[in-house]
Amino acid sequence: MSTDKTDRPTDRQVDPTVVPNYISVRLTVSHNEWPKIVSSVLHDRSYIAYPHTGKSATNPHFHIFVPSDDLARDADCMRNRIKRAFSGGNKTLSVVQKSNGIMSAIQYGSREGTVPFVSDADLQGVIDRSPPWEEQVLKKKKYGQTMIPPSEDSEKKSRTDRDWQLTYSNLVTQAVLYARREKLTGSLKETVREMCVNTKWKPSFQMVKQGVPDHYYKDYEYRVGKRKLYDMDWMDPKF
């Protein structure tokens, strides 16, 4: 049986740090399907993938970004592989060719604060250098609303003129990413200290004022493999 020409492995080496083009895939499947996605779709590709659940936390899906130097070919390849591995129509799958730089994809993918799946250390380095997600501004118009992204100048300033803010929603996620990159094995507090000393990550006013509940330390231990069971003591009544 012949293989579709868009599905053949390639020896092309795409450097994600310099190539602005990538394939953006939105695949609506359970997060438990990740091993199948890797084995059936991404086994020979570089990728960054963010698991999302949507605003209501009831719509599990993935945003997958694949660096490319042949957008049309790679888009067909991703689409064909996914359709063979998963059933469903346009509501399940979206494949788009993008040329706005992989950091833009990473910034969007990080919006829910989930830990991404990454194929290699080079892409992890790109993630670590990417600016955090910032909510875009809704500009009201006479016949509706238009999303106005930050200007290029304001984006440059956001990277250089101010710190990146650690909040309760991203503290553990960013600490896990930093610990993996720097190969740290200490506690959450030790890891965050290293982040605050060596990067632009700094705690929010609310965290400085109220501190960090014990659950976040246990959550961190679970994500880095130091704790076998996810902590559920936070559900116990506090009187």
Q: What are the chain's domains?
A: 17-130 (3.30.70.120), 163-225 (no CATH)
Structure tokens at 13: 């080496």
Q: What pLDDT shows up at residue 33? A: 93
Q: Any idea which of 65-69, 146-150, 217-221 has the lowest mean pLDDT?
A: 146-150
From 210, 211, 213, 207, select the one nearest 231 (Cα to Cα).
213
Q: What pLDDT shows up at residue 177? A: 87
Q: What is the pLDDT of residues 90-112, one digit of tens each?
A: 678 999 999 888 888 998 998 88
The C-alpha atoms of residue 173 and residue 184 are separated, in whole angstroms, by 14
CA separation, residue 67 to residues 62, 73, 79, 228 (Å): 16, 12, 15, 34
Q: What is the pLDDT of residues 107-139, one digit of tens each?
A: 899 888 888 899 887 888 888 878 777 654 334
Q: What is the pLDDT of residues 11-54, one digit of tens each?
A: 445 555 556 899 999 999 999 999 999 999 999 999 999 999 98
Q: What pLDDT shows up at residue 154? A: 45
Q: What is the pLDDT of residues 196-212, one digit of tens each?
A: 999 888 988 888 988 99
